Structure formats: C-alpha cells, structure tokens
Amino acid sequence: MHDARELVGYGLDPPRVQWPGDARIAVSVVVNFEEGAEQTPLYGDPAVDSMRERFAVAPGYRDLRTESFFEYGSRAGFWRLLDVLDELDVQASFFISGHAVEENPRAAAEITARGHEPCGHGYRWAPLYVLPVDEERRQLLLAVEAIRKATGQRPLGWNSRGQSLQTRRLLIEEGGFVYDSDSYSEDLPYFVAADGVKWLTLPYSFETNDMKFFRPPGHGTPEDFLAQLVAAFDCLYEEGRTHPKMMSIGLHMRYSGSPAGASAVRDFIRYARAFPNVWFARRIDIARWWLDHYAYLPAMRS
Amino acid sequence: MVWPEGARLAVSIAIDFEEGAERNLLEGDPSSEAGDPESVSEGAVGELDVRSLQAESIWEYGPRAGAWRLLRILEAHQVPATFFCAGQALERNPPLADHIVRQGHEVAGRGYRLRPYYPLSEAEERADIARAVAIIREMTGKAPVGWRSRAPSERTRRLLIEAGSFTYDSDFAGDDLPVREEGLSRSFVKIPYTVETSDAGYWAMAGTPGFTRPSDFGDVLVRTFDRLYAESLTGPRFMSVGLRLRISGRPSRAGQLVRFVRHARGASRVWFARRDAIADWWLDQTPASAG
C-alpha cells in the first residue's frame, strides 16, 4: 500500500452520479471535535500544540491562554454550532478525537442524540505519522472505545490528523470502519485497493475549511470564509447539472463556533438551502449510498 | 508594432502541470514536499524524513480533478494556453497529456522532476533538461520550444539554447514585455512570468497576507488587464496569468479564470495566445541588433 501514487484518478470521465432525490450536489458538513485532546504539557507532551492557534509560550510550559482558547470550542462553540445545524435541519459528521469527548461526555451524547454522525479523528489530536505502528494501533482502539462510550455509537468513518503509511491498514484491521476521509484528491468518493480490500474513501477538503482563519494566506473575516464556501458551492452545483459532486465543509468549534463564525456558517447553509436539489448529508449516508450504487467502480491505487 | 491582427494586448494563460514530479521520499529524494498552504496546514510533514500522504493527496487533486475543470473552461471560451509540464508528471498521466495536446494547447518544459536547478551540477541540470525534452517529444510528438524552471541556475538559459529546440523561456519577470536575448547563436526571447498575476497569492507566500478569498485573485487580474489595456493605446502590452492545477483547479477558485476570461473577451483587440506563438511573433517583429 502507498508504494505507487495515483495521479490519473477519475480524470476525464468521472462517474455520472445519481444522488438521492436527484440532487445536483451532496454537501457534507464536518465539525471537528478535538478541543481537549490537543498537545499540552499537562498531558506530558513536550510543548503546547505547535499549530500556533493563538498565542505561544516557551516549550515545556503550559499555555493557559491557548488552553482556554481551545476550551471555548468545547464549552461554547459546540452548542452554538449545534443550534445552527438544528435550526437549518442539517445533520453533520463530527470528526472526534477520543480524549476530547472523554473530557466532555455531555456534549458527546448530544451529537448522536441530535442525529449527527460520530467519526474517529485520533485519540489525541496529534499527527499520526510520527507514531510507531503499535502505538498508532493502540491509540486507534482507544479512540474507537472513547467515542463509543461517550456518544453511544462506534465511529464508522475516520479522518486522521496527518495519516501515516499504516493508518488505512490499521483501520481495515480494526474491522468496524466503513470508510475513511484521508484523501484530498477528488471531488467524489472512490475506492482504493488496500491490503487486498476494496476500500472506500470520501475526500475531505482544506480548501473549504475554517482552519484558513489561522494559516496564512487564509481568511481575514467570516465574509471571506463565506465567499470561499459560496464560490465552491456555485462551481460544483453548476457541474452537477451533468456530473453531481460532493462538497466537504470543515468546521472547528473554536473557530466557527464563535458568534461571527457561526453566523457565516448559517449564512452559507441558508444560501445553499435556497437552491433545489441540494443534499445535505452525513458522510456515512454518502458512504452507504456509494456502496449501494457504485460498488462496481474499480479501485484506484490511492 | 502591434500583435497579430492588430491586437493591442497579448494575454498568456500559463498553467503548471507538475504534480507527481515533486520531491518525495518515494522517489529517493531526501525529503517530501509539503510546500503548499493547504498542505502546510494540518499534519503536513514538510521537511521531515517521513512521507506526507496528506500533502501528496492534496497535490494529486491537481491532475486528477483540477486539470479537467480548467480544461473545460479553456475549451468553453476557446482560449489557448501554455502548459509548463514536468516530464515525470506527464509520464504519470498520459490521458491528461493527450487531452492537453488534442485541445490545442502548448506543452512547454518545466524540468523532468520539479526541483530547483541552482543547486545541481551542470551535468545533472543538462541531463534533467534532456530527459524533460525527450519525454515531451515522445508524448506529444514535438519537442518543447518553451521553458519555465522551478528555480533556474545561472546557466539554465545557456543549457536550454544548447539543447536546440527552445525559442523562449519564462524564467524572467523583469519587464512588462518580452525581451529578445542578444548576442546568441540563435534567436531566443524571454517571456515574462508574473508572480503578482499568478495564483501564488493563494498559497506560496506564507507569512504574507495573500489572498483571503477567491475573488482577490480575480480582482488582481481584472485590475492588471484594465491598466495594461489602457496603456496599450500607446504600444503593445503583454499580460501573463499563472495557474496551478492543484490551486486554481479547486472548485472555489476556478471561477476566477472564467471571470477574467469573460472580462477580457469583452474588450476588442485582445490576443489570447500560446507563448510559442508570442515568441515567434516577437522574434519576427524585433530583428536582432546588428553585430
């Protein structure tokens, strides 16, 4: 696995997908639930998370300001985003770091109670590619168990922070996953040949993702993020006249859970809802639809 | 002088097709590439000695999905473009290479691997150029006449001229117009490639504000076009538009190419041209100085 790259993909001839209700686009809203699982010396990590979310202190010290910034996501942002999703009747997929829901079981239970999908996103919120395979396997199992315990459902999908060469193999070996989202290379789900298995991946996106508020060049204002989402939606909706596609929107509770951030998300959903034939779907629903209707498609190399 | 058919402004759409040729441990390189904002982000490995499947996947989007979106736009608006193609990227996507040629675009060179030339020895650089030329000839039936390095060395231009097939390179940003190289054994012109009017603002200049939304790029293109068009009342002007498959081929950004082309098509006496045609015209219209 991963010893040859796939650079052709669907190419000139992507399948003409028929989504439920003849939708011209499938829109997957993803909410990352990782706050509380980030790196901090409190958990024995050498330094606060290196992604420089807000502030910075010298390595080895706890950074209470950054911790607090993360905590906002789990404490306040989560509930605001849930309200927006409820108001507009959108079911989302939550990419969950196991330890984050261990720290906030009440929020975790609400994810499934309101019909959203829990997916795996590591146990700790940290890159996987640095882990020895046994440790990665151990953390994968910990994540599955933590999510099952906190939400009442085991994750059927997975997205890594920095997948390793072994991640997909470990997901298959674990046995209970239906798909992963460790791809960024297509506008549609596709199968990969992995360890003799025809494995389903649903591409995710860093293009339409609120993390761009924190990485230059990125978004300066919520209007920028909204403009980015609208531009991507318009393009894919137009292409959906003949070739319906899938759009992934990546949200983080500590960014898009803010009042300004959530209001831009709400504006986008209302914008998209105003068009006919738009299918807001959880990733597991898209995965099952794909397995039911497109299982005949060949597997790609990656 | 004027451009062909009395045009005042020549516009070149230049698209890099380089994904699959970037630095990767899989190829025996000392590190894997993650130099792209959407990969510099979460989980991308950068310069560590570990492959970043995430970064690879983000690059792969270019030839797998983004290229076809851009090609459909060019086809719908009947715009010929120049594709600067890394040899290894072409080798790995013959259907895309065929389609670029069939649609009437120019295939120009961008190295065999996507790597800077300045650290290479002369022999290594010459060999990389030769391999790129051979693959383009093999896959398109014609040797490239144009070239854009990832980062040239002091001798790149000389090696291109020695290679024999080239009439221009775009390793040049020093003027608004093409510039004929003087004192050479053969005719050769430098055609500008302008970073400001490329999609680099979405990604390449980490630490600078860059584009914060897709229309920022379109704004730069439209403003550049309008200013050059006004200036072209007094003499010919040239505009370079630089795109990358994995960047401008994304759904949120492709619309800016549509916006720009529609805007430019609304003006008369605008010549959308491949760079090889621009080079030929320039060399024909600006004779080499005597002696």
List pLDDT tens digits, range A2-29.
889 999 999 999 999 999 999 999 999 9
CB-based contacts of A134, cutoff 8 Å, min separation 6? none
* Beta strands B189-190 and B179-180, pairing class: antiparallel
The pLDDT tens digits for A70-122 are: 999 999 999 999 999 999 999 999 999 999 999 999 999 999 999 999 999 99
Q: Residue A236: list chain B partners with CB under 8 A.
A: 251
Over chain B (291 residues), the average pLDDT of each successive run of 10 is 94 97 90 62 54 89 98 98 98 98 98 95 98 98 97 97 97 96 90 94 71 96 98 96 96 98 98 98 84 43
Q: Which residue among A220, A231, A245 sits closest to B252, beta carbon to beta carbon?
A: A231
pLDDT at B86: 98
Say whether the peptide bond before residue A217 is cis (omega within 30 degrees of 0).
yes
Structure tokens at A72: 């906002």
The pLDDT tens digits for A213-236 are: 887 778 989 999 999 999 999 999
Q: Residue A128: list chain B partners with CB under 8 A.
A: 43
Closest-CA residue to B274 (of B28, B29, B40, B79): B79
Say whether A231 and B53 touch across the interface (CB within 8 A): no
Structure tokens at B287: 């004779």
Cβ neighbour number for residue A28 with a 10 Å cutoff: 27
Say whether B252 and A228 touch across the interface (CB within 8 A): yes
Q: Report DSSP letters for B153-165, one per residue.
A: -TTHHHHHHHHSS
pLDDT at A127: 87
CB pairs under 8 A between A and B: 174
Side chain identity at A130, as an amino acid letter? V
The pLDDT tens digits for A38-77 are: 988 888 888 887 665 656 677 778 888 889 999 999 999 9
Q: Residue B93: list chain A partners with CB under 8 A.
A: 7-8, 11
pLDDT at A55: 63
- Residues, chain B: 291
Phi, psi of A198 (to 5 degrees): -90, 105
- The span from the CA of A117 to the CA of B264, in Å, is 46
Tell me which residues of chain A, numbers 215 to 234, contact chain B at a CB-CB cutoff of 8 Å.
Answer: 215-221, 223-224, 227-229, 231-234
Do the Cβ atoms of B110 and B86 come closer than 8 Å?
yes
Supply the pTM of this predicted model.
Answer: 0.96
pLDDT at A51: 62
Is any Cβ of chain B less than 8 angstroms from the Cβ of A162? Answer: yes
Q: Which residue of B has its CA nearest to A229?
A: B252
Q: Report, as an integer, the average pLDDT of A249-257.
A: 97
Please state, rounded to an integer, the average pLDDT across all residues of chain A: 94
- The span from the CA of B85 to the CA of B111, in Å, is 8
Q: Which residue among A11, A129, A223 sits closest to B50, beta carbon to beta carbon?
A: A129
pLDDT at A21: 97
Geometric angle at alpha carbon A255, from A254 and A256, rounded to 5°: 110
pLDDT at B36: 53
pLDDT at B288: 75
Is any Cβ of chain B less than 8 angstroms from the Cβ of A59? Answer: no
Q: What is the ipTM of this complex?
A: 0.95
Long-range contacts of A267-273 (CB under 8 A, 24+ apart): A267/A226, A268/A226, A268/A229, A268/A230, A268/A233, A269/A29, A269/A84, A269/A88, A269/A90, A270/A88, A271/A230, A271/A233, A272/A27, A272/A233, A273/A88
> Smallest CA–CA separation between A57 and chain B, in Å?
20
Q: Residue B46: list chain A partners with CB under 8 A.
A: none
pLDDT at A61: 84
Say whether B95 and A211 touch across the interface (CB within 8 A): no
Say whether A8 and B215 touch across the interface (CB within 8 A): no
Say whether A187 and B215 touch across the interface (CB within 8 A): no
